[in-house]
Amino acid sequence: METNQQTNQALTLPVLKPITIEKEFLDKIKGDSLKSNIIMLIAEESDYVFFLACCNENETSNIDPEDIIKLNTQKGILDNGQDAKITLADSIDLSTIYKINYFDLRKKVSISEKELPNYPYLGIEDQISVVNKLSTKLKSATNMPRLVLIKKSLNNQETKVNSCTT
């Protein structure tokens, strides 16, 4: 019989594709730092992944406009290379980069393995825009994104948030 850990290892979370996580997971995160259940992975490092929060137009009013990337939702790309509309989000918030253990996040993704190919990646122009704007922010001395580490507390299984800004 296959263990849950083995199943999670077989599944790969996509980079630069908006996906949803469980709303209950957001409620458990202390500090209310993550407000959207729509996220997009941007990098992997060992057992950790880094992601950004995605949002829709009505959710961006409290975010600095310089930290928002507006997506061309008509130009998504499916796993098979076909064009598709991005329906989960229309913008990405660059103000905060989140870091979490890959396997902890994998358990919280609310899209099944079978459904994942039906959700499009960002179009190539949006992928380049995210990489360029994020690179610029990371090089900036005055407008760096916050880094938030989300980790599970070992003693009571709550999710804790550690935040730092450099």
Question: pLDDT digit string (tens) for 76-112?
Answer: 999 999 999 999 999 999 999 999 999 999 999 999 9
User: For residue range 54-73, what is the model confidence (pLDDT) as tens digits?
Assistant: 999 888 778 889 999 999 99
Write down the pTM of the prediction: 0.85
User: For residue range 8-20, what is the model confidence (pLDDT) as tens digits?
Assistant: 445 688 999 999 9
Q: Long-range contacts for 74-79 (Cβ within 8 Å, ≥24 apart)?
A: 75/123, 75/124, 75/125, 75/126, 76/120, 76/121, 76/122, 76/123, 77/120, 77/121, 77/122, 77/123, 77/124, 78/117, 78/118, 78/120, 78/121, 79/116, 79/117, 79/121
